[in-house]
Structure 1
Amino acid sequence: MSDSAAPDIKAKNRAMWASGDYATVAADLISAFGPTLVAATGIKPGDRVLDIGAGSGNASIPAARTGADVIASDLTPELLEKGRKQAESEGLTLEWRVADAEALPFGDDEFDVAISCVGIMFAPHHHESADELVRVLRPGGSIGLINWTPEGFIGQMFGVMKPYAPPPPPGAQPALLWGSEEHVAALFGDRVTDVVARRQTITIDMFSTAAEFRDFFKSFYGPTISVYSFIGDDAERAASLDRELADLAVRHGVGSGPMEWEYLLYTAKKA
């Protein structure tokens, strides 16, 4: 990857996540993820916690509720601002910091806990972001990650969208690899101990029809908005993607009961 390519990738990622309303997606669909990560990592009062790819604070805010000292970091300032307003409405104090997961502006061994809730997975260069996570965590510090699996519903949704999307930038790795136990093991290697990797599901009962699901993601979810934007005025391709997304939702139970979306919960300690 050339030096000039990196800013372009980051600018596109930032713009993608600023589109739509990810804060609504996080609040309406995956609000349980934050408390799950807090419990899995044992965050407690006084812990210094870094949330990487924090978005609007889906995990940062629950971490701050414990009395921990939390920094929510993300590439997209628009998401951080929404999180800041939510935290202020609860009377919580935490730091909101624009930061690139692949070049964190923090010192070595600075944090007791490093977490990410379907955030770090979308940084394009996995080894760089894994290296940075390990670097800023103190020896013995805790890691807690939630990432969508390639085989689960969101992984399949990205698979449906892929033929309609622009080609990925050179050198960028697929986000969903972070949901593979083997891939995460290779990223961290012998730098971690006490690894626990569990596939779990979150129950989604918000959508009563496939069209409701599809239109929600078309309105609020940056990656979906980006794909439809790339399709542009090609009505035939847009209609085809409409059908494929609706069909996927039906196959996963929309209209007949709640959906189950699989994710990988990964915890470890820095060696």
Structure 2
Amino acid sequence: MAMSNPSVNSGIKAKHRAMWALGDYPAVATEVIPALGTALVEASGIQQGDRVLDVAAGSGNAAIPAAQAGAQVTAADLTPELFEQGRRLAEHAGVSVDWQEADAEDLPFGDDSFDAAISCVGIMFAPNHQASADELVRVLRPGGTIALSNWTPEGFVGQMFAAMKPYAPPPPAGAQPPPLWGNEEHVVDLLGDRASDVVARREKLTVDRFGSAEEFHDFFKACYGPTINTYRNIAEDPDRVQALDQDLVELARRHDLGGGTMEWEYLLFTARKR
């Protein structure tokens, strides 16, 4: 069996962390997709006193609603730069969250440590899907809840990543496309016979933050790490920059339901650990 190169892997993780520190992801979480975290916590059935791990938690889009439900919440993310805003949001909400820097593919928690393991459009961005799924299951007690929200390949965000792909830096060797986590069969395969009581449904998030396709483009170009990273990759080629500008604006126009309102599809997935 081929052994991974620790130095190469650490370099990949450093780039991944740096990408999500770009721009202002907390603005995306609080201004564009705040309802996702609340919907995930409601679907998970998290209750008072539950020990909850939010994997790839960002600035706490799901961790804070889980804490508001009375849970003891650990918010883990590879990019601790996001925690400062998360702490402010948690304080404003009047709840306590334990923020810990952690890699979704190598979580620093013991086996069977949590009653629920959740992730709101976070775990999907770890390059090795199977490693992340294995860790998600490992840290969860038998009978515990897995609850995930992930963008689908066919939905708006999945199409946005497809539009950016020709302009983006090549992914690390072996990395899988993030929107695969939005495919029910893929997630079921990752969990295998370790999961029971699977419920998976495609939901639509109404996004009305932007008044126009151009406003969406400008916001994501300034605030969303993967988009910023893609533009940096082509910064020396004005023609490609212009082409990507056009592709993203046209994508938003195709999804405009009127007045800039869009619906972004995601997979809401819950299961129990056998």
TM-score, structure 1 normalization: 0.98
Q: Tell me if the contact between 1:214 and 1:246 (Cα under 8 Å) persists in the aligned partners.
A: yes
Relative to structure 2, which stretch is displaced further, 122-131 or 254-263?
254-263
Which of 206, 218, 224 in structure 2 is aligned with 1:203? 206
Q: How does 1:90-239 map to 2 (within 5 A)?
A: 90-239=93-242
| Conserved 8 A contact 1:164-1:227 | yes
Cα–Cα, structure 1 residues 217 and 254, in superposed 2: closer, same or farther, change >3 Å?
A: farther
Q: Which amino acid counterpart does residue 81 of structure 1 have in structure 2? A: E
Query: Which of the residues 236, 239, 244 maps onto 2:247?
Result: 244
TM superposition shift of 1:64: 0.4
Contact 1:210 1:255 in 2 (8 A): no
Distance (Å, rounded) in 2 between the aligned partners of 1:161 and 1:257: 21
Deviation per residue, 1:108-149 (Å, 9 max, x gap)? 001000000000000000110100000000000001000000
Q: 1-side partners of 2:66 and 2:235: how far apart?
A: 40
SS where residue 144 of structure 1 aligns?
A: strand
Query: Any conservation in 1 of the 2:213–2:256 contact (CA below 8 Å)?
Result: no
Aligned residue in 2 for 1:60: 63
Aligned mates of 1:257, 1:97 — CA distance in 2: 37
The Cα RMSD (Å) is: 1.0
Gaps of 5+ in 1: none
1:2 paired to 2:13: no
Please list the CA deviations of residues 65-112 of structure 1 after superposition, one character each: whole Å capped at 9, or x if unmatched.
111100000000111221012112232111000000001000000100
CA 1:119/1:244 → structure 2, altered by over 3 Å: closer, same or farther? Answer: same
- Stretches of 4+ moved more than 4 A in 1? 254-257
Percent identity for Structure 1 against Structure 2: 64
Please tell me the residue identity of whatever aligns with 2:216: F
1:254 Cα deviation after fit: 6.0
In structure 1, give the amino acid aligned to 2:76. S
Cα distance in structure 2, aligned partners of 1:41 and 1:89: 24
Distance 1:198 1:255 in 2: 26
Is 220-229 or 77-86 further displaced after alignment? 77-86
TM-score of the two chains, using structure 2 as the length reference? 0.97
1:254 and 1:241, CA in 2 relative to 1: closer, same or farther beyond 3 A? farther
Is residue 269 of structure 2 the alignment partner of residue 261 of structure 1? no
**Structure 2 unmatched ranges of 5 or more:** none
Q: Match for 2:93: what amino acid?
A: E
- Measured in 2, the distance between the counterparts of 1:243 and 1:223 equals 17
SS in 2 for 1:113: strand
Assess if the C-alpha contact under 8 Å between 2:213 and 2:260 holds in 1. no
2: CA distance between counterparts of 1:14 and 1:254? 34
1:205/1:258 contact within 8 Å kept? yes
Superposition deviation, residue 256 in structure 1:
4.6
**Cα-to-partner distance string for 1:147-206 (whole Å, 9 max, x where unaligned):** 000000000000000000111110111111100111101100000000001001001112
